Chain A
Amino acid sequence: MARVVVDVMLKPEILDPQGQAVQRALPRLGFEGISDVRQGKRFELEVDGPVDEAALARIHDLAESFLANTVIEDFTVKVEEVAEAAK
């Protein structure tokens, strides 16, 4: 089993009021020096079988057509190692 992570972010030009609300709260909480916050979504897909190029291409399609709305959002796909050693 492997885990593929899809991160979805609003396109840079689109207003992100949630991120702004977080950013505005930072000085109040004593966190200085952070000039911008943007909030996104993270999807963790547990994939049966090997994550080969074909599988990644399928996940890319899935992200493009469903997990993200590319009119307003960008996305990235990356493979995350699942730590087998823990077992």
Chain B
Amino acid sequence: MTARIGVVTFPGSLDDRDTQRAIRLAGAEPVALWHKDKNLHQVDAVVLPGGFSYGDYLRAGAISRFSPVMETVIEQAKAGLPVLGICNGFQILTEAHLLPGGMLGNDHLHFICRDQKLRVENAATSWTSDYSEGQEIFIPLKNMDGRYVADQYTLDKLEAEGRVAFRYLARDGVANERGNPNGSLNDIAGITNEAGNVVGLMPHPEHAVEPLIGSGRTDGLPFFTSILKKLVNA
């Protein structure tokens, strides 16, 4: 038995097919979901993929957050459906208030594309259990609006509750100004909700699942094997 993992296509989604491929490589069954369709077609988990839905017009993720499919995703995520938001998907999750904080333009005002070093800070979520806490990985990063911001109270709460899932690192392994690619507060690359079923991050694990292709590493595959194991063992 395997798991059915939905990947939503919004107008302007770009990494939807790549995410489906990553799910397939992990051994699960990808299911294409369409933004105008409220029906989640009996999937066990949902990925909101990267891209520039609605051209990032208004704010990244702001228009997609009101699409029909998101009504169901929001409702079911609150009831425990595992949801992963990658890049634009993460932006949609914050706009939908499934995750706290928000995303703004990179502090250097440029698009940035690079293989980014991260530290796994929370290996207990639905999407990170195949990592170990403290593990250092490389995942491609590519975005314009990747600067994570939140008020001090929210940041303190995230830190206290261990809900920072991934942090940016410099190549030498220390989080510092050279490691942080966009000015995100507390070097935050990704976070989780309290229950650990909703995770969002800016880097793209679906682009690190095959040797030779993309970054040439497979550090992103555990996202998809983590959720598969959880669903199959459930």
Any A–B CB pair closer than 8 Å: yes
Question: Cβ of A15 and Cβ of B102 under 8 Å apart?
Answer: no
Q: Number of residues in B with C-beta < 8 Å to the partner?
A: 21
Task: Please tell me the number of chain A residues within 8 Å of chain B, measured between CB atoms.
Answer: 12
How far, in angstroms, from A66 to B62 measured CA to CA in the complex? 7
Bound Cα distance A10, B115 (Å):
30
Contact A17 B105 (CB under 8 A): yes
Residue of A nearest to B107 (CB): A17
Partner of B109, one of A10, A21, A69, A72: A21
- The total number of A-B Cβ pairs within 8 Å is 35
Per the 8 Å Cβ criterion, residues 79-114 of B in contact with A are 94-95, 97, 100-102, 104-109
Question: Which residues on the A side are within 8 Å of B95 (C-beta)?
Answer: 69
Q: A13 an interface residue at 8 Å Cβ cutoff?
A: yes
When the two chains form the complex, which single residue of A13, A18, A21, A69 contacts B102, counting CB atoms closer than 8 Å?
A: A69
Partner of A72, one of B104, B107, B108, B183: B104
Indicate whether B213 reaches chain A with its CB closer than 8 angstroms.
no
Which B residues lie within 8 Å of A21 (CB)? 109
Q: Mark A51-87, 1 if CB is under 8 A from B, else 0.
A: 0000000000000001101011000000000000000
The closest CB in chain A to the CB of B106 belongs to: A17
* Residues of the A chain whose Cβ atoms lie less than 8 Å from the Cβ of B97: 71
Q: Which of A21, A69, A72 has the most chain B CB atoms closer than 10 A to its own CB?
A: A69
Instruction: Provide the residues of chain A in CB contact with B217, threshold 8 Å.
Output: none
Q: Report chain A residues within 8 Å CB of B105.
A: 17-18
* B59 located at the interface, meaning its Cβ lies under 8 Å from any Cβ of chain A in the complex: yes
Query: A14 at the A/B interface (Cβ < 8 Å)?
Result: yes
B170-184 near A? 1/0 per residue, CB < 8 Å: 000000000000010
> Using a CB-CB cutoff of 8 Å, which residues 4-41 of chain A contact chain B?
10, 13-15, 17-18, 21
Instruction: Tell me if B1 is interfacial: C-beta within 8 Å of chain A.
Output: no
Residue of A nearest to B101 (CB): A71
Tell me if B183 and A15 are in contact (CB < 8 A): yes
Return 28 A-B CB contacts under 8 Å, by A number: A10-B104, A13-B151, A14-B104, A14-B149, A15-B104, A15-B107, A15-B147, A15-B149, A15-B183, A17-B107, A17-B109, A17-B183, A18-B109, A21-B109, A66-B58, A66-B62, A66-B66, A67-B58, A69-B59, A69-B62, A69-B95, A71-B94, A71-B97, A71-B100, A71-B102, A71-B150, A72-B102, A72-B149
Residues of A within 8 A of B (CB): 10, 13-15, 17-18, 21, 66-67, 69, 71-72
